Structure 1
Amino acid sequence: MRIGLYPGTFDPITLGHTDIIRRGCALVDRLVIGVAVNTGKGPMFSLEERVAMVEAECAVLSRETDTEIVAHPFENLLIDCAHDVGAQIIIRGLRAVTDFEYEYQMVGMNRAMDDSVETVFLMAEAKYQAIASKLVKEIAKLGGDISKFVTPSVQTRLLEKIG
């Protein structure tokens, strides 16, 4: 069984994330969505809320792609999380050159720790490349329309959180 790990903070999960998840499903039999605790980023949503949103969004994708998708919270090293879930590959989404520079360094460090786990980069579809959770939250806080960036259920949760 090919197991992949797609890690992120998912604060909140966006259409860009679900695009990478959908396309990642074509590469694996089981896709684990690693929801990082990542308190350093000061997430708006609690870990439990982020996991719940990921599970809700991925339930539909799992049926559409006929791939098992599970959410897995983690706060250890990414390579250790990959070991914990039995992943042979780590899936990372790229939006811009700046993403690649960071990811390139991350791959080097992960390979130094364990070169048996491969990293696969997927480019987001052009219509999703500009989407970043941080920007979605900022647009929502300032009263902008975020319906092009998240699903209706995530939009509702985000607007409720903002008040």
Structure 2
Amino acid sequence: MLKRHGQLVNTTTGEVHEFLEADESKGGPRRNYQLGGRYGQFSLERVSAMLHHESGITGDAFRVFWYCAIETYNEGGSTAAKAAKHLGLTPQATRRIAKQLAENKIFLVADVVGRTIKYKASPHIVTSLTGAEQSEEAAAYHLPTLPGRRTGAKRRA
């Protein structure tokens, strides 16, 4: 038998057997979520604020955010070009959206190679880490703001 996270795999037949792990906080076995594939957590409050009509975040910006958030789990983030190709947007528009989201700390710069920037989602909004790991990573970054709800000096028209 081969042991994977939360599973036992019979190497002869390939059959997968899930096993229950003890949930120490509740004194009983921990059940797996039935979401299909990997899963993560997100802040209902912050995502709801992003959806608000006064947030300054458009539908395309929200789509770019979620694509990069998912890619944060899979590959540590995504470039604007990769997001544009997947979402059917122009690379120029996607770069502009990603830059705006990064200015508001909704995106963080994960890596820069030449002129190519890889973005990842803020750990204040989405994460696949444990609570302790998420708290540690979030402490290293400023809280995100929303483009339509800037604090401090008002922009001139």
More RCO (CA 8 Å, sep 6+): 1
Question: Normalized per residue, which structure has more helix?
Answer: 1
Whether the TM-score (by the shorter chain) exceeds 0.5 is: no
TM-score, normalised with respect to structure 1: 0.26
Structure number with bigger Rg: 2
